[in-house]
Structure 1
């Protein structure tokens, strides 16, 4: 990579992080201006693992298709998962068919396929671990490379975000453990979420990928100092013991959208986890990643006006949804309200669909969902 003293390369857009958010941003910029010079940087070689629940909502695939990507090819080999079982903290349960089937695609596969789609649309990629991001009057310098605009898509521990904002506030970060295991007997083709009032908000999950394996895990919102690894695993085992061994056990932090920083003016944009875009109700982040990437990529060609344009388009696309998820996260601090919602889902498919839409995509609090929250 060139040094700051050399004659630097000049790019229209540099995207730091080549996961779904970064690829969506890069492709959106190329589609906004087909001749744009867009560079993706990532410290990893692909394919690479990424700690995640691997659940991909249909709405996330819709965004990828809007970007000209082959959504069917991205999901190939991982059949639709049509059912979801929810167990509330107080024991209420519901299992129903989802209005739109999800997919469970290991991130090692998903991210490599999305990157390949981005490269096919003229985006350039280099493996590089970014260390410095510096704003100048006429652009942004990333380790000696100059760009009109930089998009930070480098995850929960974003180097780019640290150049703009402090750490997310307390109470707006979750901690989760993820592993892979054999698909549990008795729940073929069904995603399972099991909640607990202990250490609330907290839940365990099992998401089968259709190959006989499942992504399994446990997470909770941090309200104090992070618990030890042993304590987290003990809580997981108590809630959802897994038959057999758990492979590829890893932990990760999830910065929730309730603590997202403001979008500033200027030439540095943040997307996905770097912008703290994790749904506070479910921990879902892929839809937010690709939607925010799409919006940031379109705005990035505005140069010095990129930040204000991105802020306006984010507000139009997701502002009302964010207000509703923040309100819902606040009121459901009382676990009994989740039990009431699950009971309402058991009696009305439409409440179930509304709950999933706000938890997995860009849904809103509907009157019937509000009614269902009444204990």
Structure 2
């Protein structure tokens, strides 16, 4: 069992090295970033690969049958120019799904051209005169390095290009009865593995950077006490929804009786109340665009167009006044809520927040009168 466990750990470690785990939160951003970098390097890659193939064809001119002389560089150059033209016409992918399709296409093209180049190199190596038979492997080695460097942002395309280009050469050289050629095949294989490791290491570094950026963004847009959105995140979501021309509803909530609880029982008790009420708001409005703590004891909820906020408001009216237990002490607060909708109450974030704020304080102003009327009735 111990041996099996070690094997599982070893297998998992190898898989993690070869295919790093990408957290779901950054997958789309990673795909788009990879495509953006690929788009930037693509002209250089296509021009260098096409130029390298033409230079190799010139260097071995006359040593191969005409179809072997012409077809491989024509395929490589034509494909490079076609890919470059299509990429310029279509531009960068706008969605993560399109970016992933581009990556798969890039890996397929890179692998196919690598095989063409690799077998072309074998023919050139065996057919050219002995004193310059190494010309083709040198050119193909240059092509593999170019591909691995320019395709660094799309690791599996880079590895596919390098592997399919060099694998036929490594196999062919290892079959010769000469130690020098076998040593060269071993070195090519080792360099390929090393370069693949560099490519994957850079990929893991990119993933780590994006994870860190995502965490920093979350910290910058989250309230550290309650975990809700902060004012910046709420206003950003509101501006984004209004910018799309959507109708929205915002609800502002201000706690009643929170300051006496905070003053009498201490800040830890006050924090416990805020955390408990924040959880109730999040539970009541799971479909909201944003549930935020704007500061102090003020909260806000943003609803998208067409969503029915009435059940949420009713649930909040029932649950927010429920007592909160803190170290055996029962703490009770109420809440005043004001709402505003667009475009009826305004088309800007400032106008909506002002309208909701006015209604909130109008409701809050009624509460003392209600208490006095209740006492008088009693």
TM over 0.5: no
Give the shorter-chain TM-score range: under 0.3
User: Which one has a larger percent helix, Structure 1 or Structure 2?
Assistant: 2
TM-score if structure 1 supplies the norm length? 0.24
Structure exhibiting the larger radius of gyration computed from Cα positions: 2
Structure ranking higher on relative contact order (CA contacts 8 Å, 6+ apart): 1
User: Which one has a larger percent strand, Structure 1 or Structure 2?
Assistant: 1
